[in-house]
């Protein structure tokens, strides 16, 4: 009796079936710059010809332990959106237009239906971001993952003209800060959230929580907001008066905002907005102190815009037209500290 690859845990036929299911999903994300469809050894994409001195901008990330919520709920159609968001939102902070996305899906035993649902979410994320799902890799690795579990990684590439590049080199004292709302936890802090909500409070993903107005699973699986089209609108409306963008991920505002500030400055950031209720539930349920919340979660702010102070009204109108909830949140001030940082005044201490 001979042994086949399937006997060792790898189902080639299932992999081939998944590839066929992926092809129309990838086609739905196609942009003019894409040269060939999914199926070759490599994806091909041209650089737009209307960009002067184009720079390629790349980013890679995963979804983290938010995947554990997908496993518990057996809902796999939203974490792909998160995967695209976590990569693309980093890329657009440079002012770049996302061009294409690649994914990696690793599992112990391939469940074609679950994998298709994940990749359908990735395709949806690409459509939201305006980029192409150019290719990817599905790896069936027996013995590497628990039954029914998988891992995801994503890779995004965008392009920006050298003169349009956003970042610390544009930021100056007196610049204004605008906070753009998140949709909740996004894809950070889930190890702490799960510890508090599922273990300390003893909730399940099916528990209806009146404070949240939904089941816990629904709230925790809310996809990360993708800001690519919003950034494009801001760039067109503000031009050179848009100076920098901060994607608020792990480390919170204090851990991320200094990355877009030049030496000799600091951000004075007001954090007295109304937070999504999930953060209050975690804070009380732990309990988790405010400082720990601030360095773990986005606390309802997914993106911070740094811009010329006299263009705040234009930016707020542009954000509203793009469907974002946003508000003035502070300013860039002088600092003699060794490195840029963030100070968060007590509520009412800022005008």
Which segments of the chain belong to CATH 3.90.650.10? 168-343
- What class, spelled out in words, does domain 8-39+46-164 have in CATH? alpha beta
Short-list 293, 249, 243, 250, CA closest to 271: 293
Q: What is the pLDDT of residues 124-142, one digit of tens each?
A: 999 999 999 999 999 999 9
73-77, 144-148, 344-348: least confidently modelled range: 344-348
From CA 220, how far away is CA 240, in angstroms rounded? Answer: 37
The SS3 assignment for 301 reads strand
pTM of the model: 0.95
Q: What is the pLDDT of residues 51-96, one digit of tens each?
A: 999 999 999 999 999 999 999 999 999 999 999 999 999 999 999 9
213 burial (CB, 10 Å; 0-12 / 13-18 / 19+) is: exposed
Classify residue 167 as exposed, middle or buried by CB count within 10 Å of its CB (0-12, 13-18, 19+). middle
Nearest to 294 by CA among 349, 347, 256: 256
Domain 168-343, CATH homologous superfamily name and number: PurM-like C-terminal domain (3.90.650.10)
pLDDT digits (tens, 9 = 90+) for 273-301: 999 999 999 999 999 999 999 999 999 99
Measured in Å, how far apart are the chain's first and last C-alpha atoms?
Answer: 80
Domain with CATH 3.30.1330.10 in the chain: 8-39+46-164
């Amino acid at each position: 009796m001979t042994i086949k690859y399937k006997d060792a845990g790898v189902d080639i036929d299932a992999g081939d079936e998944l590839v066929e299911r992926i092809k129309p999903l990838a086609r739905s994300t196609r942009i003019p710059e894409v040269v060939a469809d999914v199926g070759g050894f490599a994806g091909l994409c041209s650089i737009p010809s209307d960009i002067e001195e184009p720079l390629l901008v790349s980013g890679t990330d995963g979804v983290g332990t938010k995947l554990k919520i997908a496993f518990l709920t057996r809902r796999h159609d939203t974490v792909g959106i998160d995967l695209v968001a976590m990569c693309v939102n980093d890329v657009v902070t440079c002012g770049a237009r996302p061009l294409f996305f690649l994914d990696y899906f690793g599992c112990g035993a391939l469940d074609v239906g679950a994998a298709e649902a994940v990749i359908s979410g990735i395709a949806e994320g690409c459509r939201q971001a305006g980029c192409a799902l150019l290719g990817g890799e599905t790896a069936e690795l027996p013995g590497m993952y628990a039954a029914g579990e998988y891992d995801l990684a994503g890779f995004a590439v965008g392009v920006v003209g050298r003169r349009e590049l956003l970042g610390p080199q544009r930021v100056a004292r007196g610049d204004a800060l605008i906070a753009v709302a998140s949709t909740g936890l996004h894809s950070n802090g889930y190890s702490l959230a799960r510890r508090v909500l599922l273990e300390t409070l003893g909730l399940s993903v099916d528990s209806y929580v009146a404070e949240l107005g939904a089941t816990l699973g629904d709230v925790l699986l809310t996809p990360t907001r993708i800001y690519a089209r919003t950034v494009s609108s801001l760039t067109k409306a503000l031009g050179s008066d848009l100076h920098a963008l901060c994607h608020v991920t792990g480390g919170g505002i204090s851990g991320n905002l200094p990355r877009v500030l030049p030496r000799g400055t600091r951000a004075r950031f007001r954090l007295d907005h109304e937070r999504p209720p999930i953060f209050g539930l975690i804070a009380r349920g732990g309990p988790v102190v405010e400082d720990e919340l601030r360095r773990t979660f986005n606390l309802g702010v997914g993106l911070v815009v740094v811009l010329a102070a006299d263009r705040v009204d234009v930016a707020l109108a542009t954000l509203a037209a793009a469907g974002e909830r946003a508000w003035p949140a502070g300013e860039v001030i002088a600092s003699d500290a060794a490195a840029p940082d963030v100070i968060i005044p007590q509520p009412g201490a800022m005008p």
